């Protein structure tokens, strides 16, 4: 393969376009570009952390509910998590991880209640981290900073951050 040049087939009679050559892992691969195509704009998106509630304590677990994690809306607002948004829950007490969705609990109650089958993966008092993610273009990703809320032993807000920058302590 060393020193080999791409083989040419001449111009396509319909379009007049020439084939182009790509070299991948020292093997020659020929791609025939005789067919015409329209230019499309594909948007590349990156999945980044959008919001996080760190070190929350589970206050309840309800097997008889249909699913989800009920969270006090005050915390949802602080962490930029919407109702019915998909969340990743990481249980620091027992190592379990689960995906579910967030729902409103009672405002001002400090509630974090695992519902349905997810209730098998945690117990009252377990320390959990709740994360949600969003899709951003590479340009948006450069300046993006997630909203992070760090909670204390009784689910009181200790620190609010925008990325690494502390916005409320």
What are the two backbone dihedrals, phi and then psi, of residue 141, each rounded to the nearest 5 degrees?
-65, -30
> Parallel, antiparallel, or unpaired for β 86-91 and 97-104?
antiparallel
CA distance linking residue 30 with residue 7, whole number of Å: 8
Query: What Rg value do the Cα atoms of the chain yield, rounded?
Result: 26
Cα separation, 99 vs 7, in Å, equals 52
Residues 42 and 152: their CA atoms lie apart, in Å, by 44
Contacts of 44 (CB under 8 A, 6+ apart): 137, 138
Catalytic residues: 68, 101
Indicate left, alpha or beta for 163 from its phi (over 0: left) and psi (-120 to 50: alpha): left
Q: Report how far Cα 30 is from the mean position of its chain's Cα atoms.
A: 37
């Amino acid at each position: 393969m060393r020193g080999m040049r791409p083989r040419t087939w001449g111009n396509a009679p319909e379009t007049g376009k020439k084939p182009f050559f790509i070299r991948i892992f020292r093997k020659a691969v020929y791609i025939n570009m005789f067919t015409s195509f329209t230019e499309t704009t594909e948007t590349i998106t990156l999945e980044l952390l959008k919001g996080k509630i760190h070190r929350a304590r589970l206050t309840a677990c309800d097997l008889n509910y249909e699913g989800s994690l009920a969270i006090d809306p005050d915390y949802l607002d602080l962490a930029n998590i919407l109702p019915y948004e998909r969340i990743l829950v990481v249980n620091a007490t027992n190592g379990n991880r689960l995906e579910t969705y967030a729902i409103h609990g009672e405002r001002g109650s400090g509630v974090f209640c695992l519902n349905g089958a997810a209730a098998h993966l945690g117990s009252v008092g377990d320390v959990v981290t709740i994360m949600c993610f969003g899709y951003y273009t590479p340009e948006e990703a450069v300046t993006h900073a997630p909203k992070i809320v760090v909670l204390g032993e009784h689910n009181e807000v200790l620190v609010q951050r925008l990325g690494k920058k502390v916005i409320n302590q």
